[in-house]
């Protein structure tokens, strides 16, 4: 394998890791506040559809992005109402949201475009184009480092850089702000937060809506940067891989970056090679596809570094009277 | 749950209100895309139950949903949420295919018996790993069963495209067709006078589904094991205090749940497709969640809810045929809304109901204190 080939695989890993990273950070906010969210997939899909549909209609990808985030946040609000206000089962609510998005996206796109459940192909300004970072052309002739800068780091859609930026921002919000401290506390011991006079309901809604915002970015990236338009079920289980990455990362932002890059790499390798030879054993591509899930089960089983979820996760908070 | 509500409200009125809400919102969606919801509903009902042809499909789908619904319901009784029905049913299909492909069965009845055991064993085996991880290592069963759905799907693609593929079958990833001797009698073979067509997918495993309903009823409410499962689901500390082993109940409940989901393959793989194809489950594992929620985890409720979803699936196909603007995915929307209203937003209807019935109950009790005072005075 040549150096350039390795660069290409890494570059495609980064592109494929971006939606995972955004969705993973989305789940991180929600679950750190004690709201389990298995509806990441649905929110991503809703945003993918809405951003592609609006971008196709207006011809402006930024309006599409806003519309996608809006759609994702509407679903997040439903999840909030069900699991915070009505204290319903968060897992069941997530399942419902996944199906709601999967169904509505196809029904509405068929009604709007009549293309059998997809949106028209996006072109030009209705897609996120690749951003060439400054000096990329100038340094591309520099051996090794220049090639890395020009091929791997430069030349991605803006949302890739936004996603990477979200990692330190998330870390900073969670560990260096008052809001973050409270958010983490509400996922561990909501009664203590309540005793301190801070609204548990308010904090949890804030977390769920941030989750909606980030899922919206992830979905819009799928349809308007990675792809060129919405197709049925285009999230293809990425919401669940993000969930797996979240567990893999033990609910921490920097680990989330590592986990999603690893899963992105697995996907990139699976796309590029039908079979991988490792130590004389042929590994089928299906194994590569299943590997994120297998790794997550191993991590969950606690054989390699136990993953301990936020303690109050999944429990509706009932204020004592 | 408490006893503020009469039983009929809990098991009948609230599910009906939830269903009405789900249908109402679906109707709004249909209206918003510019079609007439009442016309769609009429086509749906007529397409599903208006002819023997429709019934053949409705009951076929319902058979699938009874199996997966019962599977989810048994896990619910032990307070576990088995999202893995999809994977367990697919692996159950693998069990059926292996049993039927590699043993020359002389008669379908023997083959059905063996396929039932194969489907149940494979489904249970696939559920056993998440069950063990939950029981011994505390890994959340919801997450592990989701992961196992994806692992199952990758495994099935691998087996069908690399291992079990028939040479020269045109490249479609599926196994060889099962022998003619093991073909299950369809509704046409059993009761041609009811007007079923030769091609109807409804087959004898419908009765297996009904038998499973009875089995689950007897298991949950008439056996010691069922009592233990229910007490474990109501209160884990209480169950431990009563000497019930959480490990044993978690394992057994999940194994039964996986076996029931796996049994679905007798209908879809053995009864209809007569070969193993990619994705033989077609989302029925997830419909099982909606069915178990609507049916309040009771076999009778599960049967009725499965029938309802059978109507939706068959009727939905007819609606798509008659009104092309309403695609088949409309069923998924309705399914999502049913799960949302009966599962997650249950309290939205339940809390006002409880308030209503509490206030109705208080009124006749109001004069009680004065009477006791009189008694005390006399």
Q: What is the DSSP secondary-structure string of B27-66?
A: HHHHHHTTS-HHHHHHHHHHHHHSSHHHHHHHHHHHHHHH
C-alpha span between B378 and B370 (Å, rounded): 12
Whether A87 has its CB under 8 Å from any CB of chain B: the answer is yes
Inter-chain touch A244–B139, beta carbons under 8 Å:
no
**Do A276 and A283 meet the contact criterion of CB atoms below 8 Å apart?**
yes
What was the pLDDT predicted at A46? 96
What's the gap in Å between the CA of A53 and the closest CA on chain B? 15
C-alpha span between A264 and B10 (Å, rounded): 47
What's the gap in Å between the CA of A249 and the closest CA on chain B? 15
**pLDDT tens digits, A263-283:** 999 888 877 776 666 666 777
B311 has pLDDT over 50? yes
Domains, chain A: 3-300 (1.10.3470)
What's the gap in Å between the CA of B329 and the closest CA on chain A? 5
For residue B176, name the pLDDT band (cuts at 50, 70, 90).
confident
The backbone region for B12, taken as left when phi is positive above 0, alpha when psi lies in -120 to 50, beta otherwise, is alpha
B295 has pLDDT over 80? yes
C-alpha span between A87 and A91 (Å, rounded): 12
In chain A, which residues have their Cβ closer than 8 Å to the Cβ of B76? none
B1 has pLDDT over 60? no
Inter-chain touch B83–A95, beta carbons under 8 Å:
yes
What was the pLDDT predicted at B369? 53
Of B283, B325, B217, which Cα lies nearest the Cα of B64? B283
Whether A77 has its CB under 8 Å from any CB of chain B: the answer is no
What was the pLDDT predicted at A302? 75
Inter-chain touch B142–A91, beta carbons under 8 Å:
yes
In chain A, which residues have their Cβ closer than 8 Å to the Cβ of B345? 81-82, 86, 88, 93
Inter-chain touch B147–A100, beta carbons under 8 Å:
no
Dihedral, B370, B376, B377, B378 alpha carbons, nearest 10:
110
Dihedral, A212, A215, A219, A224 alpha carbons, nearest 10:
90
For residue B145, name the pLDDT band (cuts at 50, 70, 90).
very high
What's the gap in Å between the CA of A203 and the closest CA on chain B? 20
The mean pLDDT of chain A is: 88
Of B137, B148, B339, the CB nearest to A92: B339
C-alpha span between A237 and A242 (Å, rounded): 9
Q: Which of B157, B337, B340 is best to mutate for the A interface (most A CBs within 10 A)?
A: B340
Inter-chain touch A92–B148, beta carbons under 8 Å:
no
With H, G, I as helix, E, B as strand and everything else as coil, classify residue A257.
helix
With H, G, I as helix, E, B as strand and everything else as coil, classify residue A275.
strand
In chain B, which residues have their Cβ closer than 8 Å to the Cβ of A100? 333, 336-337, 340
Cβ partners under 8 Å of residue A269, min gap 6:
A9, A276, A288
Average pLDDT over residues A44-58: 94
**Do B69 and B291 meet the contact criterion of CB atoms below 8 Å apart?**
yes
Inter-chain touch B150–A286, beta carbons under 8 Å:
no
C-alpha span between A244 and A41 (Å, rounded): 12
For residue A289, name the pLDDT band (cuts at 50, 70, 90).
confident
C-alpha span between A118 and B129 (Å, rounded): 38
Of B326, B340, B351, the CB nearest to A96: B340
B118 has pLDDT over 50? yes
The mean pLDDT of chain B is: 89
Three-state secondary structure readout of chain B = CCCCCCHHHHHHHHHHHHHHHHHHHHHHHHHHCCCCHHHHHHHHHHHHHCCHHHHHHHHHHHHHHHHHHHHHHHHHHCCCCCCCHHHHHHHHHHHHHHHHHHCCCCCHHHHHHHHHHHHHHHHHHHHHHHHHHHHHHCCCHHHHHHHHHHHHHHHHHHHHHHHCCCCCCCCCCECCCCCHHHCCCEHHHHCHHHCCCCCCCCECHHHHHHHHHHHHHHHHHHCHHHHHHHHHHHCHHHHHHCCCCHHHHHHHHHHHHHHHHHHHHHHHHHHHHCCCECCCCCCHHHHHHHHHHHCCCCHHHHHHHHHHHHHHHHHHHHHHHHCCCCCCHHHHHHHHHHHHHHHHCHHHHHHHHHHHHHHHHHHHHCCHHHHHHHHHHC
In chain A, which residues have their Cβ closer than 8 Å to the Cβ of B82? none
Of B150, B155, B345, the CB nearest to A237: B150
Of B307, B48, B55, which Cα lies nearest the Cα of B194? B55
In chain B, which residues have their Cβ closer than 8 Å to the Cβ of A110? 325, 327, 329
Whether A244 has its CB under 8 Å from any CB of chain B: the answer is yes
C-alpha span between B295 and B306 (Å, rounded): 8
What's the gap in Å between the CA of A270 and the closest CA on chain B? 12
Inter-chain touch B327–A96, beta carbons under 8 Å:
no
What's the gap in Å between the CA of B116 and the closest CA on chain A? 28
B364 has pLDDT over 70? no
Whether A249 has its CB under 8 Å from any CB of chain B: the answer is no
Of A103, A247, A294, the CB nearest to B151: A294
Whether A301 has its CB under 8 Å from any CB of chain B: the answer is yes
C-alpha span between A22 and A243 (Å, rounded): 11
Nearest CA in chain A to B336: A96
**Do A225 and A276 meet the contact criterion of CB atoms below 8 Å apart?**
no
**Do A108 and A83 meet the contact criterion of CB atoms below 8 Å apart?**
no
B370 has pLDDT over 60? no
Average pLDDT over residues B255-274: 94
Segment holding A278, helix H or strand E: strand A275-278
What was the pLDDT predicted at B298? 94
Q: Read off the tokens for A185.
A: 């506390």
Segment holding A133, helix H or strand E: none
Whether B76 has its CB under 8 Å from any CB of chain A: the answer is no
What's the gap in Å between the CA of B371 and the closest CA on chain A? 32
Burial letters for A72-92: b for 16+ Cβ neighbours within 10 Å, e otherwise? bbebbebbbbbbbebbbbbbb
What's the gap in Å between the CA of B272 and the closest CA on chain A? 26
Q: Read off the tokens for A242.
A: 């993000």
C-alpha span between A50 and A96 (Å, rounded): 19
């Amino acid at each position: 394998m040549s150096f350039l080939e390795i660069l290409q695989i890494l570059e495609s890993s980064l592109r494929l890791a971006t939606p995972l990273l955004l969705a993973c950070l989305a789940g991180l906010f929600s679950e750190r506040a004690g709201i389990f969210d298995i509806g990441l997939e649905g929110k991503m899909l809703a945003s993918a559809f809405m951003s592609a549909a609006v971008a196709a209609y207006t011809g402006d990808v930024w309006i599409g992005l806003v519309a996608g985030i809006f759609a994702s946040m509407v679903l997040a609000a439903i999840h909030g109402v069900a699991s915070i206000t009505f204290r319903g089962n968060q897992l069941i609510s997530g399942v419902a949201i996944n199906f709601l998005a999967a169904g509505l996206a196809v029904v509405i796109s068929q009604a709007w475009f009549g293309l059998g459940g997809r949106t028209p192909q996006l072109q030009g300004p209705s897609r996120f184009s690749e951003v060439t970072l400054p000096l990329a052309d100038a340094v591309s002739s520099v051996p090794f480092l220049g090639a890395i800068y020009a091929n791997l780091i430069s030349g991605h859609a803006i949302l890739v850089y936004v996603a990477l930026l979200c990692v330190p921002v998330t870390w900073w919000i969670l560990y260096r702000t008052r809001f973050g401290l409270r958010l983490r506390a509400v996922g561990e011991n909501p009664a203590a937060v309540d005793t301190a006079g801070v609204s548990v309901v308010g904090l949890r809604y804030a977390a769920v809506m941030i989750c909606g915002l980030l899922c919206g970015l992830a979905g819009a990236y799928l349809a308007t940067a990675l792809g060129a338009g919405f197709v049925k079920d285009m999230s293809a289980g990425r919401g669940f891989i993000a969930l797996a990455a979240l567990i893999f990362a033990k609910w921490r932002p920097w680990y989330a970056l590592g986990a999603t890059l690893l899963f992105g790499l697995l996907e990139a390798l699976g796309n590029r090679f039908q079979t991988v030879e490792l130590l004389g054993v042929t590994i089928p591509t299906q194994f590569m596809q299943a590997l994120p899930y297998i790794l997550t089960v191993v991590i969950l089983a606690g054989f390699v570094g136990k993953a301990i979820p936020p303690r109050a996760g999944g429990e509706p908070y009932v204020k004592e009277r | 749950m408490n006893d503020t509500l009469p039983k009929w409200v809990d098991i009948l009125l609230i599910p009906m209100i939830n269903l009405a809400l789900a249908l109402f919102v679906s109707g709004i969606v249909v209206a918003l895309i510019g079609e007439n919801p009442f016309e769609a509903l009429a086509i749906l009902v007529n397409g599903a139950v208006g002819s023997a042809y429709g019934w053949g499909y409705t009951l076929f789908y319902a058979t699938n949903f009874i199996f997966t619904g019962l599977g989810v319901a048994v896990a619910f009784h032990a307070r576990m949420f088995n999202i893995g029905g999809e994977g367990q049913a697919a692996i159950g299909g693998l069990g059926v295919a292996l049993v039927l492909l590699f043993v020359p069965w002389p008669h379908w009845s023997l083959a059905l018996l063996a396929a039932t055991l194969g489907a149940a064993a494979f489904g249970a085996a696939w559920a056993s790993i998440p069950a063990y991880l939950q029981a011994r290592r505390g890994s959340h069963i919801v997450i592990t069963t989701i992961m196992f759905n994806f692992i199952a799907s990758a495994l099935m693609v691998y087996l069908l495209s690399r291992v079990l593929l028939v040479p020269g079958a045109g490249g479609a990833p599926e196994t060889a067709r099962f022998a003619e001797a093991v073909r299950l009698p369809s509704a046409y073979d059993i009761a041609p006078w009811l007007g079923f067509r030769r091609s109807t997918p409804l087959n004898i495993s419908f009765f297996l589904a009904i038998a499973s309903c009875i089995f689950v009823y007897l298991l949950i409410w008439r056996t010691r094991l069922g009592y233990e499962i229910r007490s474990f689901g109501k209160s884990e500390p209480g169950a431990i205090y009563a000497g019930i082993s959480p490990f044993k109940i978690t394992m057994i409940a999940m194994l039964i749940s996986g076996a029931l989901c796996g049994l679905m393959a007798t209908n879809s793989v053995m009864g209809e497709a007569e070969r193993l194809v990619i994705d033989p489950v077609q989302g029925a594992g997830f419909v099982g969640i909606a069915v178990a929620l609507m049916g309040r985890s009771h076999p009778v409720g599960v049967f009725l809810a499965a029938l309802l979803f059978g109507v939706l699936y068959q009727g939905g196909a007819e609606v798509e045929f008659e009104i092309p603007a309403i695609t088949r995915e409309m069923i998924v929307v309705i399914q999502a809304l049913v799960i949302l209203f009966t599962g997650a937003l249950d309290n939205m209807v339940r809390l006002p109901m409880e308030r209503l019935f509490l206030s109705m109950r208080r009124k006749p009790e109001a004069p009680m204190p004065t009477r006791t005072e009189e008694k005390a005075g006399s």
